[in-house]
A and B are shown apart, each in its own frame.
Chain A
């Protein structure tokens, strides 16, 4: 097999993307420093964007980078800056809780794994193979316009709610 054929290169890049996703997720969960957690989350989200590229949708990959890495991770960074100082000593993790969480997550993992192994998926008859952003835009403004508007309303309400919740800092209280 030729090592530089497009097929091999694509497979190698895919494995790299998957490795980045999982490594980032592990850092996001396991690191003790909360700031390292956010950086791990950003790494993992970049990996997920790569996975979306492999799933044929560059637009969603772009939105992933824009919304998750660009907005949510930065917002979390601000929350970290506004809350607990990082240099304070952190309470040690209790072993029982970690083991309990491992057991719970492991049970769910095994259940879903068995479910995945046992299921056979049958594809629906394909009505269209149009992946373009234009189609996506048409769908957002025709079939799914109600949800689209609801989401914009939700974002507005969430913004107002966040302001009201987080007000009452220095000066007002």
Chain B
């Protein structure tokens, strides 16, 4: 059976993508870079949905619908997050996570 016809291939790909994104969220300090990493994580989830949909689900349309919803919510999330980042930059003159500690006691 070819590689692209097995469920596990896609699951491993999504796993690696997820872990790369998770590392980015944990390690990066630029707010925009953190947002980019979150997009990677969302894409890993999308690949998982699509793979399960392709190989296991009873109806092929369901996973595609869910993936489309993930994309729409990701677009909304990106818009809000970017506007927050710009607001933070205006106030603190920095997009570094470690500078944004106004709420620290």
Contacts and interface: CB of A to CB of B under 8 A. Distances in A.
Given A55-B10, A60-B68, A123-B55, A14 B21 contact: no
Interface string A12-30: 0011001001100110110
A134 B65 CA distance: 12
A116 B12 contact: yes
Contacts of A155: 72, 75-76
Given A60-B64, A128-B60, 11 more contacts: A11-B3, A25-B16, A29-B33, A72-B74, A76-B78, A97-B27, A105-B23, A105-B26, A108-B22, A158-B79, A161-B83
Given A41-B39, A68-B74, A116 B32 contact: no
Interface string B66-81: 0111011111111110
Interface residues of chain B: helix, strand, loop or mixed (majority): helix
Interface of A: 7, 10-11, 14-15, 18, 21-22, 25-26, 28-29, 34, 37-38, 41, 44-45, 48, 51-52, 54-57, 59-60, 63-64, 67-68, 71-72, 75-76, 78-80, 82-84, 91, 93, 97-98, 100-102, 104-106, 108-109, 112-113, 116, 121-131, 135-136, 139-140, 144, 147, 151, 154-155, 157-159, 161-163, 165-166, 168-169, 173
5 contacts: A25-B17, A52-B67, A64-B71, A72-B39, A126-B58
A23 to B, nearest CB: 11
A28 B87 contact: no
B86 A29 contact: no
Interface residues on B, range: 35 or more
Contacts of B29: 91
Interface residues of chain A: helix, strand, loop or mixed (majority): helix
B19 to A, nearest CB: 4
A36 to B, nearest CB: 10
Given A14-B4, A165-B87, A34 B32 contact: yes
Contacts of B62: 139
A76 B36 contact: yes
**Shortest 3 CB-CB contacts between residues of A and residues of B:** A101-B26, A158-B76, A101-B27
A144 B90 CA distance: 40
Given A11-B2, A151-B69, A82 B89 contact: yes
